[in-house]
Amino acid sequence: MTSTALPTTDDLRARARTALEHIGVCVPGGNDFEARTPITGESLFGVAAATDADSEQAVAAARAAFLTWRAMPAPRRGELVRRLGVLLREHSSDLADLVTIEAGKIRSEALGEVREMIDICDFAVGLSRQLYGRTIASERPGHRLAETWHPLGVVAVISAFNFPAAVWSWNTAVALVCGDTVIWKPSELTPLVSLACDHLLCRAANEVGAPRDVHRLLLGDRAAGERLVDDPRVALVSATGSTRMGREVGPRVAARFGRSLLELGGNNAAIVAPSADLDLAVQAIVFAAVGTAGQRCTTLRRLIVHRDIAGTLIERLTAAYTKLPIGNPFDDATLVGPLISTTALDAMYHALTRVQARGGTILAGGNRRLAEAAPAAAYTEPVLVCVDEQSDVVREETFAPILYVLTYDTLHEAIALHNDVPQGLSSSIFTRDQQEAEIFLSAAGSDCGIANVNIGTSGAEIGGAFGGEKETGGGRESGSDAWKSYMRSATNTINYSSELALAQGVSFL
């Protein structure tokens, strides 16, 4: 494996400053927390956090703006999102720079993240003319029964570092056309990306004459998020992050009868059947396991391989793993950037120690890289580990590039292993056998919210609903009819006859 040379923190600070200036955002100041870059692990700027009073004011302002915004026709609300999409196109390169600087993503994936934002804006603009309700056949003469969809209220978006901009846009673009207003509490690890996104949306709002407070950004720590979780004026809390976080957010929002939409951990697996096209499978597996340095919630974490092809596949994967270029994510040759922090690296190595104690064997990778060049950064070789059981550590999500390899003899056994984890986000099967593929996609197959054939677990398009089952939280975001989570429905019965006919044939008076 090769390592590519790193830029200095001063270079990165200058590049961040240029990107912020192009977008039109003031470089932040403050000393509550720091904007850091995982590329060197060092600090770029000090940042001020929102105070309790800022949070209070933001919720009040977003609630007031909601009262105006909900009355604006949805296609006109779409104009705001269309304008945001145009600004994102204009600033793709600057925004991708900030994503690379703060999240450590390689350039191509950072540009892909911005593309995903543009795509959801386009989708949401179309949606603004398609918030359809149904007309239902009434059992009574002279009656019409209908379902209408109305805006819900203030939506709190709590997002994670790994998709610092795209996950915000999935929620915000859809919530805005649905007539909601948004308060965003991003990860503390990505304040610059957040300031840039907020600024572009503010600019779009100003240009199309939408209320300024349709969107408010709250930078801050966990306490800032907790205030939103507990605030009865927040109608929906859409939270992306760990299962541990979701386990706190879900019950707290439910206790006040608020709504929550949870996108939590994944422990995604792929089954590789004997008939699989191995050239395609190897490419797909490496991207899914190693892309974003293993820090996507859709990252491939378990490979369940048929015993007959395990030797060949492992050999090919080992060869691919030993050639991965690791290092500067701005270098076009790099495929693996840094982990977000040395804490994440420690968690990865701790998981490896635990799995080895349970008999796991490292097949490739696992060494730290560039520790001398950047002691505060966290570069590592992705790891391929052979295991013969799904021990506790394999059943957990470690947010790092570890791929556990298991073998199977029958498809039934493979599906049982596949589903035998607490999480249920994304899954795939590599096979040329249609019967196997259909069984995997059937009710008795994968128990995940995303189930794929001959494509990896990560890199979903925005057109489909995104989310998962079990400890992944059950929420659906992005495409398909995920918009319904951001609205409330009302059932209307309209009597246009002159008779009062009671339902179920009840007679009264």
Binding site for ligand UN1 (CB under 6 A): 116, 162-163, 167, 240, 296-298, 458-460
- Ramachandran quadrant class, 366 (left: phi over 0; alpha: psi -120 to 50; beta: rest): left
* Between 40 and 458, CB nearer to ligand UN1: 458
**Strand bridging mode 465-466 / 450-453:** unpaired
Active site residue 102: no
Residue 227 sits at the vertex; the CA angle it makes with 222 and 233, to the nearest 5 degrees, is 145
C-alpha–C-alpha distance, residues 338 and 292, integer Å: 9
| Helix axes of 222-230 and 243-255: crossing angle, nearest 10 degrees | 30
The tokens of 345 are what?
């690296």
C-alpha–C-alpha distance, residues 296 and 120, integer Å: 18
* Between 59 and 167, CB nearer to ligand UN1: 167
| Residue among 79, 116, 263, 471 flagged as catalytic | 263
Shortest distance in whole angstroms from residue 506 CB to ligand UN1: 51
Shortest distance in whole angstroms from residue 265 CB to ligand UN1: 10
C-alpha–C-alpha distance, residues 222 and 219, integer Å: 10
Shortest distance in whole angstroms from residue 402 CB to ligand UN1: 16
* Between 153 and 265, CB nearer to ligand UN1: 265
* Between 9 and 240, CB nearer to ligand UN1: 240
* Between 164 and 365, CB nearer to ligand UN1: 164
The tokens of 366 are what?
């696992």
Nearest residue to the partner ligand UN1, using Cβ: 460
Question: SS3 helix, strand, coil % of the chain, rounded to 5?
Answer: 40, 20, 35
The tokens of 472 are what?
């992944």
C-alpha–C-alpha distance, residues 484 and 127, integer Å: 11
**Closest CA relative to residue 59, chosen from 197, 207, 209, 237:** 237
Shortest distance in whole angstroms from residue 490 CB to ligand UN1: 32
Shortest distance in whole angstroms from residue 450 CB to ligand UN1: 8
Active site residues: 263
